[in-house]
Structures are given as C-alpha cells and as structure tokens.
Amino acid sequence: MEAVKSAALNAVHENNEIMTRVGADTPMGNALRRFWMLALVSNELERDGAPVRLRIMGEDLVSFRDTNGRVGIVDAYCRHKRAPLFFGRNEQCGLRCVYHGWKYDVNGQCLDIPNIVPPDNYETLVKRMSIKAYDTEEAGGVVWIYMGPKEKKPPLPRMEWMGLPKDYVHVSRWLQRSNWVQGMEGELDTSHIGFLHASNSMQDTLTRGASYASDSRPLLFLKETDYGFYYAARRSYQDQYYWRISHWMLPMWSAIPPTPGFYFGHGRAWSPIDDYMTTTFAYRYRVDHPLDDEDMKEINEGVSFPPLMTRGSIEMPNGHVIDTFLPIANKANDYMIDRELQRTASFTGIPGVNTQDRGLQESMPGVPGDRPGIVDRTQERLVVSDGPVIAARRRLVKMAKDLGQGIEPAALARPESYFVRGMAKLSEIADFEEFMAQNQQELKAEAAKLTAHTAVAVNVIAPAP
C-alpha cells in the first residue's frame, strides 16, 4: 500500500513539474510557445514613446511602438555590452541604446553601430549584431506575441471580443504572484463561488451571481472539445435550476457567464512571467452596444475584474525589472481583509472578486525547497467538485507530452473554435443534454441579430462538431 501511495505522489509531483515549468527547454514551455500569448495592452505603447519592460515565460524582453506604429518585442538588452534597452531612445523607426548608440528595429535587426569607424564589411557586421525578436500582432486591444518556431506559427484564435469595435471591449492586466496554473484553476472551480464570493452587499453583477450559487453542491457535466472543454454546473435554486456554463480554452483562457438577467461576455487569461509569477489579463465586452456607465463603474471600482491597481514596476531576482500593474490589496496588507465585514456582510471580509481569488491563490504554500509561487500539489486532496480542474491538468500534461512526441496541439488547427460565450440561466430543465439543446437554439437566434458587429457567425455554447 505504501508503495502504491508513493508512486501516486511521485506521479502528481511529476505532472506538477510538467504543468508549472515554462522555460524554453521545458515540455510546457515548448507547448505554450506553440500558441499566441498575451504580452501587454495596446494602449500601454505610444509611437516613439517609452518602452515597456516585460518577462514572458522566463525571457527578459522590452516592447516598443516605432514611428510607423509597428510593435516590437525584443531582447531587453543590447547585443554590445548588455546595457538595458529600456533606457533607449525610441526614434526614427528604431530603439537606440543610450550606452554606445547601437540601434535596433522591431524585428531585432541592428541598424547602426555608430561608435566605430565603419570597416569594409560594415553592413555584414551590422546584420550579424541583431538581437532576439518575436512576431507580434494586435487584436482586441492586446499585443500578442508568438515565441515558437516560425514554421509552426498558427493564426490568432478567433474569440468573439477580438472582432468588436474598440468601445465595446475593455482589456486589462495585472501582476499575480503565483504560478500561472494556480490562477487558471480558480476559473475552473465553480463550487467556490457560493463561499469565497458570497456577500450581502451585492455591489456588482458578479457578486450578485453568487446569490444564485447558494446550493454549495453543484452537479457538474463536462464535454471535451478541440479548444479544451466546456462544463456545466447545475444548482437547485428555489423551484428551478441554476445552470452555469463556462469554457476552458487551451492553453489558459476562460469564458465565464454573467449573472442571469445581465449580458456581457468576460473571462481571463494567465500569461506566465516565469515559473513563479503571472500576468493576469481580463477581458469584458458587449455585443449589443458599447460598454456603458454600469460596466465601466464595475471595472474602475475594482469590485470584480480588474482589481484596484496602480502602474508600477518590480525587480526580478536576476536584476531585470518589469513594468506591470500592481494590485493595491496584496499579501503585504493581508489583502485588506476586514474582520467586521467578514462577520456581518461578506464570507471572506476581503473586498473585490479578484482580490478574493488572488489572496487565496498567492498564499498557498510552495514546493519545499523552492521559491514561493508553485503550490505543492502532492498535499492536495481533491473531490468530485474538482472535476474540471482534474480534466484541465490531464489535458495540459497530455498536450506537453504529445508535443514531445511530435504531435501538435489540435486546438491550433481550429482558431474559429475559440468563438464561444459563457452562459448562466434559470431553467426548469434538469437534464443536461436537453438544456444544452434548447438553449443552443435560443442563443443562436439571439446572436444572429448581433453579428453585424462580429467577424464570424456565433456558436454560443459550444462549437458545432
């Protein structure tokens, strides 16, 4: 029995290592690099403006928008003496290092070496001094980065919000001090809603949604898809059922339903900074009209996503600095927990949906002997309500192992399959298949009225097989 237990724990540890390690020489790092990842929000960059320092999957980078509006994401340091390009002059379609004047374009190509007398082979020399640069695209108000083999580069995923007018969509990003999997798994854990997010104040539509989740024992249904899976949680609510349909899209996207009676689409993505920190992105959108005052009030007041935050920077252990957005409520101030509020109005006493999630995820104990940030999953004891989390872990590990055998992620071949929405609805229907069939038709009919604002036709709950 002890041998069996030991083997099981070893398998959990091995899978945890596969999921959480994202360096370029790791199985998951290689797998994530097959996808377009999120780098930063487009409005952070101005033409010939200040560069933005990044770290993505352990690689230290700097982003800038050149004179022509093109976005480059390149090595953070000059090829000459490794001076930081963040301090460079962004001018005349290139970033010029202020140490010795070497200049690079958005493709990482060296354009000028002004601190030498040009030799006969000057042009050849300049070409040899290029720095690492990655392909970028802009869509949905986000700068996307592709860090994998160029011959394997897929099209961008075709999510609904990416084709909408600018004022219909809001995208934000912020720092999460944990491994990317910890943040992502919170979105797959529907049973926590009736506890962690329960509140009497009902400040926002997401918190009000927790009132429908008072049945703390949801019955779960899950369907695998090319893009990942969608899962349904059915709860008893008065004399009906509260159905909540969410999507998980490879490698780290969510599409979450709004509260019944409201319509907006929203979800999150978790872009690894390295093994121990993450940039969380949130998107929120409407398809019927631009985001209104109520939408923007929830966004700006930090009651849901994003949290209240300030623009700032942090120094990484190797001395590299990244520019990001720092949540005001954090571990240093105990996430601003209010014990009186906890006793009287809020299950946690912590203000804000994301702050509640992040406070628990960032505070999980790490792997012994390692830096904080990666939870020790050998100490977990999962239960039936963790089914979606278990399914995602299996899918991620399989994807990483398959790639090692030369099998590319199937999701990359169907970018249109990412065009999905979450849904929440009260219904008298108890059967999952019947509920899905009825509401697929209803929501397709509704979506057909709104396609003037979108790039492709809508499959609302799940793509057609």
* CATH number of the domain to which 264 belongs: 3.90.380.10
* 314 and 232 inside one domain: yes
Q: Could you give the percent of the chain with pLDDT greater than 70?
A: 92
435, part of any domain: yes
Average pLDDT, the chain: 92
- In whole angstroms, give the CA distance from residue 31 to residue 410: 12
Q: What is the pLDDT of residues 129-152, one digit of tens each?
A: 999 999 999 999 999 999 999 999
Of 98, 121, 152, the residue that ends a domain is 152
User: Could you tell me which residue, 260 or 464, shows the higher pLDDT?
Assistant: 260
Residue 259 has pLDDT above 90, yes or no: no
30, part of any domain: no
Contacts of 463 (CB under 8 A, 6+ apart): 225, 226, 227, 414, 416, 417, 419, 420
pLDDT score at 463:
44
Q: How confident is the model at residue 213 (pLDDT cuts 50, 70, 90)?
A: confident
Q: How confident is the model at residue 186 (pLDDT cuts 50, 70, 90)?
A: very high
Residue 457 has pLDDT above 90, yes or no: no
* 177 and 256 inside one domain: yes
pLDDT score at 206:
53
- In whole angstroms, give the CA distance from residue 274 to residue 278: 7
Contact (Cβ atoms closer than 8 angstroms) between residue 265 and residue 161: yes
- The full 3-state SS of the chain, as one line of letters, equals CHHHHHHHHHHHHHHHHHHHCCCCCCHHHHHHCCCEEEEEEHHHCCECCCCEEEEECCEEEEEEECCCCCEEEEECECCCCCCEHHHCEECCCCEECCCCCCEECCCCCEEECCCCCCCCCHHHHHHHCCCCEEEEEEECCEEEEECCCHHHCCCCCCCHHHHCCHHHEEEEEEEECCCHHHHHHHCCCHHHHHHHCCECCCCCHHHHHHHHHCCCCCEEEEEECCCEEEEEEEEEECCEEEEEEEEEECCCEEEECCCCCCCCEEEEEEEECCCCCEEEEEEEECCCCCCCHHHHHHHHHCCCCCCCEEEEEEECCCCCEEEEEEECCCHHHHHHCCHHHHHHCECCCCCCHHHHHHHHHHCCCECCCCCCCCECHHHCCCCHHHHHHHHHHHHHHHHHHHHHCCCCCHHHHCHHHHCCCCEEEEECCCCHHHHHHHHHHHHHHHHHCCHHHCCCCCCCCCCCC
* 265 and 387 inside one domain: yes
pLDDT score at 3:
76
pLDDT score at 207:
55
- Taking residues 363-381, report their average pLDDT: 96
- Taking residues 175-201, report their average pLDDT: 93
Residues in the chain: 465
Residue 234 has pLDDT above 60, yes or no: yes
Residue 224 has pLDDT above 90, yes or no: yes
pLDDT score at 258:
87
Q: How confident is the model at residue 41 (pLDDT cuts 50, 70, 90)?
A: very high
pLDDT score at 315:
98
Residue 462 has pLDDT above 50, yes or no: no
- Taking residues 373-398, report their average pLDDT: 97
Domain count, the chain: 2
Of 152, 168, 200, the residue that ends a domain is 152
Tell me if the bond preceding 114 is cis, omega within 30° of 0. no
262-266, 385-389, 435-439: range with highest mean pLDDT = 385-389
- In whole angstroms, give the CA distance from residue 248 to residue 235: 20
- In whole angstroms, give the CA distance from residue 220 to residue 232: 6
Residue 421 has pLDDT above 70, yes or no: yes
pLDDT score at 356:
97
373, part of any domain: yes
Instruction: Report residue 439: phi and psi, to 5°.
Output: -80, -25
Q: How confident is the model at residue 211 (pLDDT cuts 50, 70, 90)?
A: confident
Q: Which amino acid is at 67?
A: T
* 129 and 238 inside one domain: no
Residue 454 has pLDDT above 50, yes or no: no
Q: What is the pLDDT of residues 294-349, one digit of tens each?
A: 999 999 999 999 999 999 999 999 999 999 999 999 999 999 999 999 999 999 99
* 289 and 235 inside one domain: yes
311, part of any domain: yes
pLDDT score at 40:
98
* 400 and 318 inside one domain: yes
Domain span at residue 332 reads: 160-453
Distance (Å) of CA 356 to CA 17, 247, 349: 26, 21, 9
pLDDT score at 199:
87
Q: How confident is the model at residue 455 (pLDDT cuts 50, 70, 90)?
A: very low
Of 135, 152, 169, the residue that ends a domain is 152
- In whole angstroms, give the CA distance from residue 93 to residue 48: 8
* 267 and 343 inside one domain: yes
Residue 57 has pLDDT above 80, yes or no: yes
CATH number of the CATH domain containing 71: 2.102.10.10
Task: Calculate ∠ Cα 317-350-263, nearest 5°.
Answer: 100
* 125 and 227 inside one domain: no
* 140 and 165 inside one domain: no
Q: Tokens 């540890």 identify what position?
A: 13
461, part of any domain: no
5, part of any domain: no
Task: Calculate ∠ Cα 222-227-229, nearest 5°.
Answer: 10
Q: What is the pLDDT of residues 58-90, one digit of tens each?
A: 999 999 999 999 999 999 999 999 999 999 999
- From 73-77, 103-107, 260-264, 421-425, the region with the lowest mean pLDDT: 260-264
- In whole angstroms, give the CA distance from residue 112 to residue 96: 9
* 116 and 171 inside one domain: no
pTM of the model: 0.94
Q: Tokens 């006793």 identify what position?
A: 343
Residue 407 has pLDDT above 90, yes or no: yes
* 68 and 172 inside one domain: no
* 420 and 353 inside one domain: yes
